[in-house]
Amino acid sequence: MGKPTGFLEYDRCERAKLPVRERIKNFNEFYAPFNQEERRRQGARCMNCGVPLCQSGMTLGGMVSGCPLHNLIPEWNDAVYNGNYQHALSRLLKTNNFPEFTGRVCPALCEKACICGRDGEPVTVHDNELFIIETAFANGQMTPRTPPSRTDKRVAVVGSGPSGLTVADMLNRRGHNVTVYEKQDRPGGLLMYGIPNMKLDKSVVMRRVRLMEEEGVHFELGVDVGADITAEQILADYDAVVLCCGAGRPRSIPAAESMPDGVYYAVDYLAAATRSLLDPDYEPISALNKNVVIVGGGDTGNDCVGTCIRQGCRSVVQLEMMPCPPLVRQLSNPWPEWPKCLKTDYGQQEAAELFGADPRIYSTTVSRLVTDEGRLRAIVTVQLESVTENGKRFMRPVEGSEKELPADILLIAAGFTGCCEYVPEAFGVDVSDRGRVVTDGGFYTGIDKVFSAGDMRRGQSLVVWAISEGRACAAAVDRFLMGYSNMI
């Protein structure tokens, strides 16, 4: 604990954002540069608790609170306060392969469990983490870490999202020969084409990929395993195969099953927007001068709000099935549980400033679509109420509550129903009725040499969980290949 009175002397100070009307002019990341002295003060706020719940990753009240990677947060906060950034980096990288990703997109489960947040404001763990890794890159400290020797084992990783990259990174450092297969033209999975550029600049993803290539990981891009190359070929050429294909099958809504012109899944819309930035000749799904309605109140829905604003939409509305959460913690939701409170993210903040109101409408869904010659013209919404019957709670339409909203574009951000099935089918791997690859309680699928990790095995989740899955899966693969593993 570098400064015992730091939490008393310094207030929480997050990294500053650019003004809304400035940042929406482009798709660049919109945070101001780090202030080194301010970061040191923020590191001083950490109390080095005797029981640091920030790194616990515990399930409380049905939700996880604290870091699933069990990051050594008090240690590197102390190092930041003392200006020992090299030591902070070493402690950070011990548990997190890609802090430049989590430091940008993680919802900071660690901060929700920080004891400073019990009666005040938590430590800026999220910002401090990103400061450490970006300082390391800026100072030339992130150099290739090649293994001192190589084994004769060959591993194929199918999918280059966060779990696939983690598996590849860990097994490569162990000395195995790793090839990553990615069906898209660029690596990164959802990091590349699922998360918008203003939230995670694609140069950050490619910077890490280039570093991994220098360390010995080989990437095969534009290769769709199960289509362009057979599972039999992969199994014949490699000693182990890890399926990390994500949970990319989007969930539809009953009113939009016919998918008329103007109705899109959020994942397709966001991917097209990013691709148009990377490939100037590519035509995105443009919201320019259009009325946009988004179904889904989560992170993906918020990303759609921010994206259509940057494209110049005329209006944007975000529909959320559930009621509006409370503004502050309730007695039934005590610390250190995840706070079930209203969160207003960057896209909603931008919409509120531009259009004068929060874009979210709660307890509402789409009842039906209004089309004109096969083209979306409007949607009809219906209000929902929470009812309980036979011990089960569900949302029921309120009779007579229908309203028509103008809509040129409807974006469905209602989550995902699991992985695309053709890859598991190709390898003979079982998939549960929830669309998840079935494993033995760990990561082994029961098919010789075949493992799975990330959203494909766990279901739709956070980047930090994908990294955690990848680390644990890599250790399981290493034990399979070598008979033991020294991975943590």
Q: What is the pLDDT of residues 410-420, one digit of tens each?
A: 999 999 999 99
pLDDT, tens digit, 9 for 90 and up, residues 124-151 = 999 999 999 999 999 999 999 999 999 9
Q: Above 70 in pLDDT, residue 488? A: no
Same domain, 369 and 405: yes
Q: Average pLDDT for residues 203-224, to the nearest whole number?
A: 98
Task: Tell me what pLDDT residue 325 has.
Answer: 95
457 in a structural domain: yes
Whether the predicted pLDDT of 210 surpasses 70: yes
Does residue 336 sit in the same domain as residue 350?
Answer: yes
Identify whether 20 is part of a domain.
Answer: yes
Whether the pLDDT of residue 350 is over 80: the answer is: yes
Percent of the chain with pLDDT over 90: 95
318 pLDDT tier (thresholds 50, 70, 90): very high
95, 218: one domain: no
Last-in-domain residue among 358, 392, 412: 412
The verdict on residue 147 lying in a domain is: no
Domain limits at 454?
Answer: 154-248+417-482
Q: What is the mean pLDDT of residues 202-228?
A: 97
* pLDDT band for position 451 (cuts 50, 70, 90): very high
Here the CATH number for the domain that contains residue 393 is 3.50.50.60
Q: Is residue 143 part of a domain?
A: no
User: Are both 400 and 265 inside the same structural domain?
Assistant: yes
pLDDT at 58 over 70: yes
pLDDT in tens, 153-180: 999 999 999 999 999 999 999 999 999 9
The model's confidence at residue 433, banded by pLDDT at 50, 70 and 90, is: very high
Domain count, the chain: 3
Average pLDDT value for residue range 305-330:
96
Structure tokens at 182: 């990615």
Residue 310 has pLDDT above 90, yes or no: yes
Q: Where is the domain boundary, 365, 380, 412?
A: 412
Strand segments (E) across 272-362: 291-295, 315-319, 360-361
Task: Kindly state whether residue 488 falls inside one of the protein's structural domains.
Answer: no
* pLDDT recorded at residue 2: 72
Is the pLDDT assigned to residue 1 strictly greater than 90? no
Provide the mean pLDDT of the chain.
Answer: 96
| Residues 421, 393 share a domain | no
CATH code, domain with 32:
1.10.1060.10
Indicate if 226 and 260 belong to the same structural domain: no
Q: pLDDT (tens digit, 9 = 90+) per residue, 377-397?
A: 999 999 999 998 888 888 999
Please report the beta strands in 118-253, taking only residues with DSSP state E, as ranges in sequence order. 154-158, 177-182, 218-221, 240-243
Question: Which of 88, 108, 138 is the endpoint of a domain?
Answer: 138
pLDDT of residue 3: 87
Same domain, 316 and 421: no
Model confidence over 230-280: pLDDT tens digits?
999 999 999 999 999 999 999 999 999 889 999 999 999 999 999 999 999
pLDDT confidence bin for 487, thresholds 50/70/90: confident
